[in-house]
Structure 1
Amino acid sequence: MAKNQTLVQFRVDSDLKNEVSEIYSALGMDLPTAFRMFMVRSKMVRGIPFETVLPENAVTRAEGLEAFEKLREQATDVPEMSLDEINAEIAEVRKNRRR
């Protein structure tokens, strides 16, 4: 580790910080380690270490949740099936595929 260390501080939305911290934790690292990795990689590529363009079809979180809720509403109209009925339907589709 470098001899001369400095403290880097910045403000970020607490929900964002918590969500990102959970992601890094699942990867086996803490937030400071992930940020150090970002900085080292930035130095290596002499820029931002990922593509920084807007996607053509960006979907907001609100739009995604709205679409999910619409699908959930549609699914409430689907009749309940027993496991035997589901297996019979699968077997019928497989049988028709072989023809």
Structure 2
Amino acid sequence: MASTLIQFRTEDTEKIKSIQILDKLGLTLPSYLKMCMSRLNQEQGIPFSMKLNNTDTPGIKALDKAGKIAEEYNISNMSLDEINAEISEARK
């Protein structure tokens, strides 16, 4: 199997911190990067969540508000069937 050289630039402090962590784990930076690429190929995508934990978006705020209203009216534990029945009744 042919091998190829991959190079990229990073801040010195990032590299040093990474090497220190990997050293404690008994790994080298090249072996860690090879593991990352291997998992990327196995998973056919990034092998970890890449979600932003931003709870300040309008959608999240609306869901939080809806949850508080549901708790206030004691309806936060309704099943989907109960919700659909309420909607059907309201549409009559």
Q: What TM-score comes out, normalization by structure 2 length?
A: 0.56
Partner of 1:66: none
Q: Deviation at 1:4?
A: 0.1
Q: Deviations over 1:30-66 (max 9, x none)?
A: 0000000000000000011111012237xxxxxxxxx
Unaligned runs of 5+ residues in structure 2 are: 56-92
Q: Deviation at 1:20?
A: 0.8
Task: Tell me the secondary structure at the aligned position of residue 51 of structure 2.
Answer: coil
How far apart, CA to CA, are the structure 2 residues paired with 1:49 and 1:38? Answer: 8
Task: Tell me the secondary structure at the aligned position of residue 15 of structure 1.
Answer: helix
How far apart, CA to CA, are the structure 2 residues paired with 1:14 and 1:54? Answer: 26
Q: Deviations over 1:78-99 (max 9, x none)?
A: xxxxxxxxxxxxxxxxxxxxxx
Alignment counterpart, residue 49 of structure 1, candidates 39, 47, 50: 47
Partner of 1:10: 8
How far apart, CA to CA, are the structure 2 residues paired with 1:7 and 1:31? Answer: 14
Unaligned runs of 5+ residues in structure 1 are: 58-99
Segments ≥4 residues shifted beyond 6 Å: none
Give the number of aligned pairs. 55
RMSD: 1.2
1:31 aligns with 2:29: yes
